């Protein structure tokens, strides 16, 4: 059966819902390699192979999703699915993008919680952690090349790095400050408008053809429908949080997970690596749910599974609940904690898309929003650089002291605790990633093998 949508010519979208489900499941299973790799998979399938959406609209939708908090790749899938088949299509696309990786991560997190201290597993992660440093460094360079197009963006990135590294300014304040600077700069030097897209007669991709004229009903902005949609998805998102607070109290680990990751879903701009900086700052330093090295272990697991890298938050939720299970069995508490974090992380993503997407066309060519987005992306470079340095100190050195000098808060390593084997793996992994462009599986697999060999040799 084909899904029919009204449009000016009363034509049908020649994409059945069953075909869309198969395509979204395929994308969910193939989406490795972080946001860049996932967006590349969607571009290849949706723009080049299927021609469901045109290049210009794909990039415009991506820019909108980058402006939102949360995982932009999952939101982009939800957005395109919504355009094709309304709310049902958006739900199918967003859920199938996440669920395969979430199931993998649940299994890996359960294994890690139960046997992560075993010598063989510890040896594997000894090798994986330095390799993850190389991946974070590669992310800094990749985002930096895209975001730092002028002196203003470089200055914003540098200010963001100093703010979070030396003064421990919370990430949400950095995002807010960058957005304000971007809005102000757009007034002084507005960007040139992009030329309108051009298609040969009869060659427009399906979504572009659909949106000619007034477009289908679900893609037309309506204040009343937006208000109803917002109320529905706010209830879906926050009702479980309110229930946990009422039943368990605010001090319970489940309540704290629900509150923290609900807050994270609102303020974490810039993708998974920026989220990690915020999560590491709070989950490791403030809540004590896991150690700095364990955060790297979680990122290593997330790198090897399909789906968004933000699934590392599921790992954090699993370990936090597993280690404070209360009256539950640890494995059950861990699974519930992981599921809770998934819920409060991804439910807001559907809220942002289903409420905001009908208004997306009105955002085209907005100099103010373009300026805010550019500034936020520049600030993310500084935040991810801080993440790389913070992880490097905790992976390469056995002891890192916090030194306070007035308002400054510096992390100072003990040079005598430097791990030469970890440094060697990190250097080789960095060369392999940056110079030879080694694949993720080769990089992580080779580093894990090196960790095992060093363990067998008594060097790790």
pLDDT at residue 198, rounded to an integer = 46
Residue 108 structure tokens: 């890996």
User: Quick check: 3 pLDDT over 60?
Assistant: no
Quick one: pLDDT band at residue 215, thresholds 50, 70, 90?
low
Listed as own residue / partner, the contacts of 430-437 with beta carbons closer than 8 Å and 24 or more positions apart are 430/133, 430/134, 430/137, 432/134, 433/134, 433/135, 433/137, 433/138, 434/134, 434/137, 434/138, 434/141
What Cα–Cα distance (Å) separates residue 258 from each residue in 302, 319, 352? 21, 14, 19
Note if the pTM is more than 0.85: no
| DSSP assigned state of 437 | -
DSSP 374-432: HHHHHHHHHHHHHHHHHHHHHHHBS-EEEEEETTEEEEEE-GGGB-HHHHHHHHHHHHH
Over the stretch 258-313, which tens digit does the pLDDT of each residue have? 999 999 888 776 666 667 777 877 888 889 999 878 887 887 788 777 888 889 89
Instruction: Map tokens 């993998």 to a residue.
Output: 104
Q: How far apart are the C-alpha atoms of 100 and 24, rounded to whole Å?
A: 11
Q: How far apart are the C-alpha atoms of 330 and 113, rounded to whole Å?
A: 9
Q: How far apart are the C-alpha atoms of 173 and 353, rounded to whole Å?
A: 24
Q: How far apart are the C-alpha atoms of 313 and 283, rounded to whole Å?
A: 10
Residue 130 structure tokens: 């330095």
Over the stretch 117-146, which tens digit does the pLDDT of each residue have? 678 777 887 888 888 788 778 878 877 887
Quick one: pLDDT band at residue 4, thresholds 50, 70, 90?
very low
Q: What is the mean pLDDT of residues 365-379?
A: 78
Over the stretch 59-88, which tens digit does the pLDDT of each residue have? 777 767 877 888 888 999 999 999 888 999
pLDDT at residue 147, rounded to an integer = 74
Residue 198 structure tokens: 């051009």
Residue 330 structure tokens: 């640890």
**Choice among 244-253, 277-286, 306-315, 359-368 with the minimum mean pLDDT:** 359-368
């Amino acid at each position: 059966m084909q899904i029919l949508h009204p449009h000016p010519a009363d034509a049908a979208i020649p994409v059945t819902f069953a075909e869309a489900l198969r395509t979204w499941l395929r994308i969910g299973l193939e989406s490795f390699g972080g946001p860049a790799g996932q967006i590349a998979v969607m571009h290849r399938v949706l723009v080049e192979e299927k021609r469901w959406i045109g290049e210009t609209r794909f990039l415009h939708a991506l820019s909108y999703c980058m402006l939102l908090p949360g995982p932009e790749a999952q939101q982009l899938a939800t957005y395109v699915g919504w355009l094709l088949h309304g709310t049902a299509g958006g739900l199918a696309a967003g859920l199938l993008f996440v669920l395969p990786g979430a199931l993998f991560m649940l299994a890996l997190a359960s294994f890690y919680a139960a046997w992560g201290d075993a010598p063989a597993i510890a040896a594997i992660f000894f090798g994986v952690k330095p390799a993850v440093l190389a991946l974070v460094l590669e992310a800094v360079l990749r985002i930096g090349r895209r975001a730092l197009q002028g002196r203003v963006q470089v200055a914003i990135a540098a200010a963001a790095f100093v703010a979070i590294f030396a003064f421990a300014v919370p990430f949400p304040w950095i995002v807010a400050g960058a957005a304000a600077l971007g809005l102000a700069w757009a007034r002084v030097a507005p960007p040139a408008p992009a030329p309108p897209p051009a298609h040969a007669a009869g060659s427009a991709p399906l979504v572009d053809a659909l949106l000619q004229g007034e477009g289908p009903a679900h893609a037309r902005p309506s204040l009343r429908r937006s208000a109803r949609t917002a109320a529905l998805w706010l209830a879906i998102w926050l009702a479980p949080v309110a229930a946990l607070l009422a039943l368990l109290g605010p001090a319970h680990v489940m309540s704290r997970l629900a509150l923290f990751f609900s807050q994270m879903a609102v303020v974490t701009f810039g993708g998974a690596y920026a989220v990690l900086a915020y999560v590491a700052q709070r989950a490791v330093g403030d809540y004590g749910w896991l150690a700095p090295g364990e955060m790297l272990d979680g990122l290593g697991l997330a790198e090897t599974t399909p789906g968004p890298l933000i699934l590392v938050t599921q790992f954090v939720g699993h370990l936090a609940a597993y280690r404070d299970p209360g009256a539950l069995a640890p494995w059950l508490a861990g699974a519930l904690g992981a599921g809770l974090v998934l819920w409060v992380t991804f439910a807001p993503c559907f809220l942002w898309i289903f409420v905001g997407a009908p208004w997306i066309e009105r955002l085209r060519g907005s100099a103010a929003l373009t300026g805010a987005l550019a500034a936020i992306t520049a600030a993310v470079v500084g935040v991810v650089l801080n993440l790389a340095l913070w992880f490097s100190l905790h992976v390469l050195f056995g002891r890192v002291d916090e030194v306070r000098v007035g308002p400054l808060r510096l992390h100072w390593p003990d040079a005598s605790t430097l791990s030469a084997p970890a440094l060697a793996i990190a250097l080789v992994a960095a060369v392999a990633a940056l110079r030879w462009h080694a694949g993720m599986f080769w990089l992580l697999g080779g580093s894990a093998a090196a960790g095992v060999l060093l363990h067998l040799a008594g060097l790790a």
